[in-house]
Each structure stands twice: as C-alpha cells, then as structure tokens.
Amino acid sequence: MSRALAELSLVDVADRIARREVSAVEVARNAIARIEALEPTLNAFISFEPEAALADAGRIDTAIGRGEEVGPLAGVPLAHKDMYYRAGKVTTSGSKISRGFVADHDSTVLLRLRAAGALHLGGLNMSEFVTGPTGHNLHYGDCHNPWNPDHAPGGSSSGSGAATAARLVYGAMGSDTGGSIRIPAGMCGVVGLKPTQTRVTRHGATPLCFSFDCCGPLTRTVRDAARMLGVIAGHDPLDPTSSRRAVDGYEAACGRDARGLRVGVPTGYYNEDLDPAVAAMMDASRKTFTDLGCELVEVDMPDHDRINTLWNVILSSEAATIHRRWLRDRRDDYAPQVRRRLEVGLFQPATRYIEALTLRTGIAQAFVDDVFGACDVLHVPTMPMPSPPLDEIAVGDGDDMPAVILRVSGFTRPISFLGLPSLSLPGGFSAAGMPACFQLVGRPFAEATLCRLGDAFQQATDWHTRLPELADF
Amino acid sequence: MSNIDDDFVRNLARMWHGLALSDAEAAGIRAILAAQEPIAEAAASAMSFDAEPAGFSRFLEADDES
C-alpha cells in the first residue's frame, strides 16, 4: 500500500495516470487495499465493486498506452452516495424499502463521470432516503468519522465525506437538499460543492425534494471539485429543469488571484451560538482572505426563522408526496426519525406549500440584491460546531429531534432555500481534533468565483492536507 | 399560536391517509406543525396577488454575476 499515492489530489492522480507516471491499475489496487483496511472501522460503503473497477482501470491503461485520448478523470477511483441509478444494478438509497431496487436506467451524472474515465468503486453509505444530517443509518449501520470514529460523519452523504477524508477514494458524488453535501464535508474536513439549484442534472438520482435537490461532489481540494463539476454540469434533456447556461471554466478559475474580491461578513444569524473553535476558525479564515488582498464587507442578514420554516414546508410537502404510498403500506420499514420528518408533509395544506414556493422568489431576489450588491462572496460557517459524538445526536424521533436537526443544518438549509451555490471547505480544527469548516456562498451560477476564492484559500493554508490518524498508512 | 392539536393530527391521518398514529406520533407531528404555523402565516401576508412559483426559475436564470 502507498500512502503517498493515496494522498495525491484527484487532479494530481488523474494527470499522473494520463502521463503514464503511474498506472490506473496500480492506483485502483491501492484504493481497494485501503478500503479493505478501513471499511470495518468506517462503514462507508453499502456496496463494493473492486473487480469491475480493476477491469475498467486495465482498459484505461491500455487506451493510454495506445496514445488514445482519455477523459479528465481517466483512471481515478471514485465511489458515490448509493442513490445514483445504474441500469441493472441495485441502488438502495440507504433504505430497507429499496434494498432490492434495480434501476432500469443510468443517472446522467454517473454516465458523464464514466465518459470522463472515472472508476466506480461502489455505493456509499448515506442517511435513509437522503433524510438526516448526522450520518446515522438504522438499516446499514452508522457511518463513522475518520477523524474520530465515535463522532458523526454528517449526512446525508455520510459515506462520501468519510471515504474522501480517509483517502479511500479521490472524490465522491453526494447530494444536497438542505446541507447533505456541505455538512458531511464539514464534519469530515473535506471540500463539498453544492451547485446552483439547476446547474447539475438530477436525472437518475433518488429524489427527496424537487425544489431543493442538488447533485455535487465531495473532494479534498477545491480544484478537484472544480474538475468534477466541469464534468457533470450542463443541460440534460432528461432533466428539463437543468439550466441551458454555458458551463463556466471552474478549474481555470482556480489559480486566479483573489485580490479585489469583496468577502461578505454577516451580522446576526450566522454568528449565533458558535462553538469557540468555529468562531476562531471564522476569524482566522477572514485574516487569510485579507492577506490574499480581499476586502471584508459587513452585510446584514434577513429573517432566517422565516427562511428555515418555509424550507421545511416545501421539503416535507414534496418528500411526503414522493413517499406517501410507502408511508401507508410499509410504514414500519422506515426508521422512526425519517418517518416523522416525512409524515409532517402529509399535514401541510396545499395553500401553505404553494405560498412557500411563491414566497421563495421574492426572498431570494431580495437576498441577492442586498447581500451580493455589497459583496462578491458571502463567508459563513458550515455548522455552528464541529462534529459531535454520534451518540450525542442519536435523538431518533424524540421531542428534541427538530431542534437537534436544526442545530446541525441551520446554516445550510437557508442557502438551499435561496437556490444559491455554496462551497464548504475546512479552515481549522477544534482542540479535540475535529475539523471546523466554512461556506463560501455566491449569487446564482457564480461557482467559478467560489472556486477562485476557495482555491486561493487552500494555496495559502494547509488544512486540506491534514490526514486523519487512522488513515495515516 | 396555533389551534392544531393532537386530535386534529390523528383524525387527518386516519381520514386522509389511512394511518393510525400513536399518541406520541400525533404529538410529535403536532409540535412541528404548531411551531411552523405562526411564522408561515406571517410570511404569507407578504405575498403579492400576482406572484407564482415559476418566478423562481426566472430569477435564477436572469441573475448575472457580471
């Protein structure tokens, strides 16, 4: 096993494979060995497909050896949240109900990654039916945080965060409805990119909420996320909601000077009840932005109680619509917390739901006008605290469940409601050794600006290079 | 304040959705709805007569960083 090989970024390993400095088979074997070593501790995978990945790696090496053109992810071992369909294969969505579900078509995102040459090592652990920000799973076992296996990895893309942080894979697809990319990225200390609402196709991905669901990558570096986004972004006729806008040069934006960018520092909401480690991380990262030549600008935040409430009206209404038949016929096959959160939607009046959808436009327009009239990028914490112990937030469907869920996801939900792109990246660690992370939020389709500033931050700091002790081999 | 109570939740579950909720389940759902209602009702008072949900797609596409 090679730690040095595992520590390469996605971009570095892809470029070395393309230059024949290392073979795709060697890289795949190394990833497989690491997964076999750490899976008993992390429980990051629901399905594991080493043979197929090795066969694909062999084909990549043969193609490169013949001098054929290969894609920007050729030979790179990836694995994805187990909610992306592949024709003829099981997609569990982390659920008991879909344990045997075999899709009859492929997700567009996975087809695009495969066309770019990426290897697929398996389906990753996740919260049941994309519901839950902690990383618990009653059916497949809890996923564990590589920085401390007693702590939560975050959810719902729990395996995507854990596998990427432990250097089992070089990147992973997650999905985000209220923080499900950014929260596990934040708890596991990796990069998570939630694109603008319509930037990436959702065809063939398990739905939770039509209005908020976003597909996006978790990686170790911003440049890695930029490369993956460049592969998966763009209009898909099979998802008519996907934008027809041209795809920007996200990777080209990395390496650009961040000087002159105005970074928004919020007053009020995003400063409330911060853990001291998160508050210190926010101050330190703002100092780094200043050193990079950015201008810090104070910006006022609107009423977030209203935003969080309307988010929950829309989420529960749409999720209950998707699950109503199973909630009636297979009620006991849901974990109690998941069932409770879905069932609330059965009691939302249609008028309340349509009001919330309608109000979204005015609230988002005012937010963009007010906030991004004053700054280019908004800088807010991903969560108010570092990853807590798994058992501390194992609240099931108890009375304190809504408050605990809101405590974890209260800084990410509003950005989903607003439909804006957000990049979460690590900016420090707590005294207990758990990552602390922040989000860079932009106006619609400003992913390239987020990549520009995020990459500049990572060039000036080394938080993203820290390796969990259990993965140090 | 919300007038939603446990019986309302239990009855609606039975009559609309064919679900038999336990007392604890009805109380848990009622608590979430009761906390939501005053905030959602106040927000709705700001809705203009001719607004509609498709405006959000137009908002996203119309915005331009430059």
Task: Encode chain A (473 residues) as per-residue pLDDT tens digits.
Answer: 789 999 999 999 999 999 999 999 999 999 999 999 999 999 999 999 999 999 999 999 999 999 999 999 999 999 999 999 999 999 999 999 999 999 999 999 999 999 999 999 999 999 999 999 999 999 999 999 999 999 999 999 999 999 999 999 999 999 999 999 999 999 999 999 999 999 999 999 999 999 999 999 999 999 999 999 999 999 999 999 999 999 999 999 999 999 999 999 999 999 999 999 999 999 999 999 999 999 999 999 999 999 999 999 999 999 999 999 999 999 999 999 999 999 999 999 999 999 999 999 999 999 999 999 999 999 999 999 999 999 999 989 998 999 999 999 999 999 999 999 999 999 999 999 999 999 999 999 999 999 999 999 999 999 999 999 999 99
Decide if B36 touches A, using CB distance below 8 A. yes
Comparing CA positions, the residue from A224, A93, A249 lying closest to residue A171 is A224
Do the chains contact at B18 and A328, CB–CB below 8 Å? yes
- d(CA A118, CA A2) in angstroms, rounded, equals 20
What letter represents residue A111's amino acid?
A: L
Does the pLDDT value for residue B66 go beyond 70? Answer: no
Cβ within 8 Å, pair A355-B47: yes
pLDDT at B64: 72
> Does the predicted interface ipTM exceed a cut of 0.90?
yes
Separation of alpha carbons A51 and A24, rounded Å: 13
Banded pLDDT at B1 (limits 50, 70, 90): low
Question: Three-class SS of residue A84?
Answer: strand
CA distance A224 to A417: 26
Look at residue A79 in the predicted model and tell me its pLDDT.
98
Domain boundaries, chain B: 6-62
Closest Cβ opposite residue B39 in set A309, A354, A444: A309
Residue A393 is encoded by which pair of tokens?
A: 């937030």
What percentage of chain B reaches a pLDDT higher than 70?
95
Total domains present in chain A: 1
Helices A350-371 and B55-62 cross at an angle (nearest 10°) of: 20
**Would the CB atoms of A361 and B13 count as touching at under 8 Å?**
no
**The tokens 């007053």 sit on which residue?**
A267
Facing residue for B29 by CB, picked from A196, A324, A343: A343
- β-pairing, A377-381 vs A435-441, is antiparallel
Q: Do A364 and B35 touch (CB under 8 A)?
A: no
Top residue of A211, A359, A404, A450 to mutate, by most chain B CBs within 10 Å, is A359
DSSP reduced 3-state for A149: coil
**CATH number, position A64:** 3.90.1300.10
CA distance B66 to A256: 17
State how far Cα A305 lies from the chain centre: 24
Give the distance from residue A370's alpha carbon to the nearest chain B alpha carbon, in angstroms.
13
Instruction: Note the pLDDT of residue A219.
Output: 98
A241 min Cα distance to partner chain B (Å): 9
d(CA A240, CA A236): 7
**Full DSSP string of A226-244:** HHHHHHHBS-BTTBTTS--
Its domain, for residue A396, covers: 3-471
Contact A125, A168 (CB under 8 A): no
Integer Cα distance of B38 and A449 in angstroms: 38
Calpha distance A14→A20 (Å, rounded): 10
Which residue, among A227, A194, A39, A207, has the nearest Cα to A121 in the 3D structure?
A: A39
Supply the pLDDT for residue A1: 79
pLDDT of residue B63: 77
Asked if B57 lies within 8 A of A241 by C-beta distance, the reply is yes
| Cα A316 from Cα A348, distance rounded (Å) | 8
What amino acid positions of A are annotated as catalytic residues? 81, 156, 180
Give the distance from residue B13's alpha carbon to the nearest chain A alpha carbon, in angstroms. Answer: 8
The token pair that represents A96 in the structure block: 């008991």
Q: Please tell me the pTM assigned to this model.
A: 0.97
Task: Pick the residue from chain A with its C-alpha nearest to B14.
Answer: A328
pLDDT value of residue B2: 75
Strands (E), A283-343: 295-299
Q: Which residues of B touch A440 (CB under 8 A)?
A: none
- Coil, strand or helix: which one is A196? coil
